[in-house]
């Protein structure tokens, strides 16, 4: 499975990434995203990197309501800048015709999901 991974060399500010955008998977009426076990494991790795002082963004890429890949970026310390990595990954995802979903900001999951069995 194709994976992207980025640990920011330069600190970056993540709130610019898909700011304010809602997903068809968010809210009480949203669809449920089926998360592949591999993507869930990758998300757990990400959770070990983020904190209140190291914010991050985790993106799931999906087709037909099932994740096919994921990526993340986080800010390893203060003075974060605009997150060009996440923006470029969203653009690549969209160019492939995939659903590109901001799954979590820092440790807060923003969509309805279920990990595949």
* Tokens read off for 22: 């809602």
On whether the CB atoms of residues 46 and 58 are closer than 8 A, the answer is yes
pLDDT at 1: 40
- Report the candidate in 86, 85, 81, 84 with the shortest Cα–Cα distance to residue 104: 86
On whether the CB atoms of residues 55 and 24 are closer than 8 A, the answer is no
Q: pLDDT in tens for each of the 117 residues of the chain? A: 444 333 332 223 333 333 345 689 998 899 999 999 999 999 999 999 998 888 888 999 999 999 999 999 888 776 666 466 788 888 888 999 999 999 998 899 999 999 998
pLDDT at 109: 96
> CA–CA separation, 2 vs 52, rounded Å?
29
> CA–CA separation, 60 vs 51, rounded Å?
20
Q: What is the secondary structure of 44-104 as a DSSP string?
A: HHHHTT--SSS-EEEEEEEETTEEEEEEEEE--SSS-EE-HHHHHHHHHHHHTT-EEEEEE
> CA–CA separation, 36 vs 9, rounded Å?
28
pLDDT at 115: 98
pTM of the model: 0.77
C-alpha distances out from residue 87 to 13, 34, 112, Å: 12, 23, 22
pLDDT at 79: 61
């Amino acid at each position: 499975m194709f994976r992207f991974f980025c640990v920011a060399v330069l600190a970056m500010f993540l709130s610019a990434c898909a700011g304010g955008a809602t997903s068809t998977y968010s809210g009480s009426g949203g669809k449920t995203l089926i998360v592949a076990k591999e993507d869930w494991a990758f998300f757990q790795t990400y959770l070990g990197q983020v904190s209140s002082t190291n914010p991050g963004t985790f993106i799931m890429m999906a087709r037909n309501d099932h994740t096919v890949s994921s990526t993340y970026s986080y800010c390893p310390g203060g003075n974060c800048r605009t997150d060009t990595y996440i923006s470029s990954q969203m653009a690549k995802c969209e160019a492939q015709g995939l659903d590109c979903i901001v799954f979590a900001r820092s440790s807060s999951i923003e969509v309805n999901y279920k990990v595949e069995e």
